[in-house]
Structure 1
Amino acid sequence: MVDMKFTCARPWLSVELGSVHQVLSWTLNAPGFIETDRVVWREVRNSDLTPELDAHQWLLQELQRSNNAQAVAFLTSRNIDFHHYAEKSIEGEKVSCLVTAGLSNAERVGVRHGPQNRFGTINILVKTISHLSQAAMIELMSVVVQARTLAVLEADIKIGAHQQAATGTGTDCVAIASPLRGAAAPCIYAGLHTAIAEAAGVAVLSAMHEALTIWKKNHLNP
């Protein structure tokens, strides 16, 4: 059974979390820890992202117009029809993941290529069924970012004059959603040798591999 209820009607991809969750992200409109029951993606075209555009204000206006002002919002130039879902349960810890991914704006950590002529990003939403402490959410964020990076490395995208492997894009964003409360005390640890981190890693890798395989097929084949 899919643990997220999501609908896609371009230019919006909307996820109903089922109840108010604590969400940790670095999204433009709602960075840090906030409480919400909804996460959305807003698709934009490369031609929309002009140098004069104040993307933050534009996104806030779009959210207001669409009755999504309280949502955590990703901004992406990826065709959101290409969204990819995976979930994994390990030892009772169920984690679900929804991804959109494009690598037209690929970068390598430690090397700055600067703004590209085209835009692309990786946006990842991870939802747990367990109630997590804020510390555990931060730790799980690090696991999700590791999984994202591993998937990009395995996609073997070469960039720059020296054709080095990309590790992400210049505009990636991640959101972690955890129920506000649970039947038990909150999980306070989410390191790599915990069930919840393993489940998150499997779910993110699965969704990312599918997303990047399709992106490469559509964008890199002659």
Structure 2
Amino acid sequence: MIVTCDRPWLCADLGAPHRVLSWAVHNGGLTRASRIWWREVRNADLPADLDVTPWLAREMAGRGGADAVGLLTSRDIRAHALTRTEVEGVAVEALTTAGLSNAEAVGRRQDWAGMDWGTINIAVQIHAALTESALFEALSIATEARTAAVIEAAIELPTGLATGTGTDCIAIAAREAGPALPHAGLHTALGEAIGAAVRAGVAHCIADWRVDIRRLRRLKAEGKPLD
């Protein structure tokens, strides 16, 4: 995975077309793509009457990325982490950004009207081919790893410990060529590699987010401009 950051864009080049499974705003679902892009946004970019999906499609097309999978985040995309894990010859890379300003505890939602927003976005590149069922299983393992890292951060909410945010998105990309791995569960080398890469990336980005939040709150209290 080759990563370039040109704010407001964060771009992951997978090097070749991959099968990509996600619930991304742009080109979500099960698709074929060689790139996964982030678009950083601010409140001014997203007025209440804006239809986000066609807006992002136009933004992606204007940059030559109509065929890429597109994610949205309010997090400063310069604060990203690329983690890599290899287990028994199976290599996995995870590109992560994380902001938890709109954190939630699963099963009980809060009223976020007029509040700040965040998002945990993760792109996982698996350097192997997977069956379709294994691709879905890989997405579940990445989600579990994300949740574990958030729980370890121990962010207390009125509804309980945070398990994620209301706008998280994960994209799993697997090679098209080669023997397809049939499973990606926690007992497999692939499951271990996905879990380790994602968990480390999310934990790193949450730690960075906490530092930035304290800094921004201090600047706000001092009446200084926020970056």
Q: Give the Cα–Cα distance (whole angstroms) in 1 for the partners of residues 104 and 21 of structure 2.
A: 24
CA offsets 1:74-119 (integer angstroms, 9 cap, x no match): 1011010011110000100100000000001111100011335111
- Per the TM alignment, residue 49 of structure 1 is displaced from its structure 2 partner at its CA by 2.3
Matches within 5 A, 1:11-90: 11-90=8-87
CA offsets 1:137-188 (integer angstroms, 9 cap, x no match): 100111000000010011111122x5x2110000000000001111xx2011
The aligned counterpart of 2:222 is none
The aligned counterpart of 2:208 is 214
- Per the TM alignment, residue 135 of structure 1 is displaced from its structure 2 partner at its CA by 0.5
The aligned counterpart of 2:170 is 174
Q: Give the Cα–Cα distance (whole angstroms) in 2 for the partners of residues 86 and 143 of structure 1.
A: 16
The aligned counterpart of 2:89 is 92
- Per the TM alignment, residue 47 of structure 1 is displaced from its structure 2 partner at its CA by 2.7
Compute the RMSD of aligned alpha carbons: 1.2
In the superposition, the TM-score normalised over structure 2's length comes to 0.92
Matches within 5 A, 1:159-170: 159-160=157-158, 164-170=160-166
- Per the TM alignment, residue 220 of structure 1 is displaced from its structure 2 partner at its CA by 4.1
Q: Give the Cα–Cα distance (whole angstroms) in 1 for the partners of residues 112 and 56 of structure 2.
A: 20
- Per the TM alignment, residue 57 of structure 1 is displaced from its structure 2 partner at its CA by 1.3
> What letter is aligned with 1:30?
N
The aligned counterpart of 1:5 is 2
Q: Give the Cα–Cα distance (whole angstroms) in 2 for the partners of residues 220 and 143 of structure 1.
A: 31
Q: Give the Cα–Cα distance (whole angstroms) in 1 for the partners of residues 184 and 194 of structure 2.
A: 10
Q: Give the Cα–Cα distance (whole angstroms) in 2 for the partners of residues 5 and 140 of structure 1.
A: 21
Aligned residues: 215
